[in-house]
Structure 1
Amino acid sequence: MTGSSGKFRPLEGRAAMRARSQDEAIIEVTWCYYQEGMNQNEIAERLSISRATVVNYLSEARRRDYVRISLNSDVFRNQKLARRLVDRFGLQDAIVVPSAPGGSDQSLDRVTRVVADWLPSLLEPGDRLGVAWGETVYRVAEAAPRITIDNLTVVQLVGSRPAALGFAAETCSATLARRYGAHCINLHVPLVLSERDLVERLKREPVIRMQLEAVADCNKTLFACGTCTAESHVVHTGLLDRSEIDVCAAQGATGVICGRLIDQDGKGLNREIEDRMIAVTLEQMRGKVMGLLVGSGEDRAKPMLAAIRGGYATHVATCSQTAAEMLNLA
């Protein structure tokens, strides 16, 4: 059996035709269901296929991003808790989704999905969007629609560090840039180095210097404020071990922004390790045209409050339980 004889080409041709036929069937099923409002049994009868096939085709259409289901973000912006957050903390805007009955992970999924729909309306051509790292930011990037925002630049805010499940900084920024058809500027250095002198030498490298200038030049940011517990992202990525995070918490550490610890008022703790980090500084995170803080969960209320008090956030997205807890703590 050889591929050069040509005798397999008809089979290949039939396989390609079958693939095209299935693609057309998926599109037809999707159109009937979402545009014509037909139910699954009606579609199965019209196309002479089984209802199970209809279900599979609809699932495949969603997987391929043929269909995107979203709710108008204004529904959640106008929610009572959202308006209370804006009024209480002097925010430009906020969005609050109902907490999920299934627990914190489902609530976070709701929040990140609504942020993915909301974020494009907060961006304009020519914006330079700084993107942080971690699970929350990664979920937003993964849920983002495939659209084009003219002349948008997405910038990685922290250097590289191994992270589980693709939550690394370069993955978050590259994924969001790809979804938005944007130019991506990655920060091609480790987040933490062994010596301060090495950090300074790397910063002087022309390419790294240009990338750090892009970090400082962002006019908008997307970030989360992590916790200071044993389950913190900085512990899982090895920036701090469990004993160190406990000591920091005892010293007043309340949240983590781009690897840097802050107290309840949003002020940095200025640990020694930060002199060996290559990442956006806390000062650079303040005073942005837009600082979109995303978070959900009972352990996120205090860190998010600290981020707001520190002047890092102009916009907030969270769930109803977290919003209520933030208001109770304020």
Structure 2
Amino acid sequence: MTPGPSKSRAAEGRAVVRARSQDEAIIEVTWCYYQEGMNQNEIAERLGISRATVVNYLSEARKRDYVRITLDSNIFRDQDLARRLVDTFGLKDAVVVPSSPDGPEQSLDRVTRVVADWLPSLLEPGDRLGVAWGETVYRVAEAAPRLSLDELTVVQLVGSRPAALGFAAETCSATLARRYGAHCVNLHVPLLLSDKSLVDRLKQEPVIRMQLEAVASCNKTIFACGTCKEESHVVHTGLLDRSEVGPCAERGAIGVICGRLIDRDGQGLNLDIEDRMISVTLDQMRHKDMGLLVGSGPDRAASMLAAIRGGFTTHLATCSQTATEMLNLACENDA
């Protein structure tokens, strides 16, 4: 026998009350912990709940963005390694976070979280921010605070390509635009096609041409410089086959920017495959008002150094271990 309408409505009402009561409890726990400085045991005693429930409520508050814990980015800009990077490479600014003792993955997490808080201070009304793709940029977008930045346009720099775990280009740009309350211009084409003539025809389509004009007109960019190895992003996304990595490395490939390979001096290798790509060009990435290079890991040091030498980078964010490796490489190359 199914419950009548009145009983169903009553059950729904009780569910709403329980949900509202839990929401209020989460807010109360959050307030006690962050505003009143109470510890978890004190909160549990005051509210008559278990310490485990307090822990769960605090975790839920962070997931809901009720609480955002940040550190002033100036402390990472003013430290010695950051100043040495600026002076050595002629950058406008840099942030260097302490490398995590738990390994490269955790170091990258630290870097992207600091960048998410630093980036808004680098943006001004009317800016057109070009957004690259990949795990690093995606992490920055996911960690970005919810703001309303006036007259900001976020532009997808590379065409679409399947990528693991949501690191696709359109996801990176759309997520960051949503976080910043910005207008988003997506590039609604595949990154790689099978035929150059098809690429040329697509570029002439009015809507695509307009999107590519937006790509070319970006005055600021945020990007990562990948590596050219068998486990690299450029291989996982199918832009290069594993069998092609060795020959490319022999030709001098050391880094990848928006799907395009560069050598140690930041110059493009101009592979045949690039004629079948629809994305920002290396020339369009150079000499911007801001080119924010984000990366972490000793294996990234050489490629990041190439991105600086190529004129793509004005601002840099990395970890202390990577910063040290970059400075050491620069000294070895100058010796």
Query: What's the CA shift string for 1:186-232, capped at 9, x where partnerless?
Result: 10000011111100100011110110000001110000000010011
Q: Quick one: structure 1 residues 190 and 10, their matched pair in 2 at CA, closer, same or farther if it must change by over 3 Å?
A: same
List per-residue Cα deviations over 1:57-81 (Å, max 9, x = no partner): 0000001010001111000001100
The answer for the alignment partner of 1:270 in structure 2 is 270
SS at match of 1:312: coil
1:257 aligned residue? 257
Structure 2 Cα separation of the partners of residues 229 and 303 of structure 1 = 11
Cα distance in 2, alignment partners of residues 46 and 304 from structure 1: 52
Residue 56 of structure 2 is matched in structure 1 by 56
In the other structure, the counterpart of 1:166 is 166
Question: Aligned to 1:244, what secondary structure does the other structure show?
Answer: helix
- Write the mapping of 1:20-99 to structure 2, written as runs, cut at 5 A: 20-99=20-99
Unaligned runs of 5+ in 2: 331-335
Secondary structure of 1:300's partner?
Answer: helix
Separation of aligned partners in 1, 2:126 and 2:2: 54
Partner of 1:144: 144
Q: Where in structure 1 do 4 or more consecutive aligned residues deviate above 6 Å? A: none
Name the counterpart of 1:279. 279
Instruction: Name the residue aligned to 1:300.
Output: 300
C-alpha separation in 2, matches of 1:23 and 1:70: 24
Report sequence identity in percent: 82
- Residue by residue over 1:260-309, the C-alpha shift from the partner in whole angstroms, topping out at 9 and shown as x without a partner, is 00000000000101011000000000010000000000110000000000
The residue number in structure 1 matching 2:313 is: 313
Does residue 153 of the first structure (1) align with residue 161 of the second (2)? Answer: no
Mark the CA change 1:3 to 1:172 in structure 2 (over 3 Å): closer, same or farther: farther
Cα RMSD for the two superposed structures: 1.0
Q: CA deviation at 1:246?
A: 1.1
What TM-score comes out, normalization by structure 1 length? 0.99
1:288 and 2:288 are equivalent in the alignment: yes
Q: State the distance in 1 between where 2:126 and 2:235 align.
A: 36
SS at match of 1:238: coil
Further displaced range: 247-256 or 44-53: 44-53
Counterparts of 1:278 and 1:127, CA distance in 2: 23
* Cα distance in 1 between the residues matched to 2:241 and 2:287: 31
1:49, distance to aligned residue in structure 2 (A): 1.1
CA offset digits 1:119-143 (Å, max 9, x no partner): 1111112111000000100111111
Cα 1:129/1:4, change in 2 over 3 Å: farther
In 2, Cα distance between equivalents of 1:244 and 1:99: 33
- Does 1:202 pair with 2:202? yes
Q: CA deviation at 1:3?
A: 7.9
**1:217-232 correspondence runs (5 A):** 217-232=217-232
Counterpart amino acid of residue 261 in structure 1: L
Structure 1 unaligned residues grouped into runs of 5+: none
> Across the two proteins, how many residue pairs are aligned to each other?
330
C-alpha distance in structure 2 between counterparts of 1:90 and 1:247, whole Å = 32
The two structures have a TM-score, normalised by structure 2, of 0.97
Spell out the pairing of 1:124-143 with structure 2 (5 A cutoff): 124-143=124-143
In structure 2, how many angstroms separate the alpha carbons of the residues matched to 1:197 and 1:154?
29
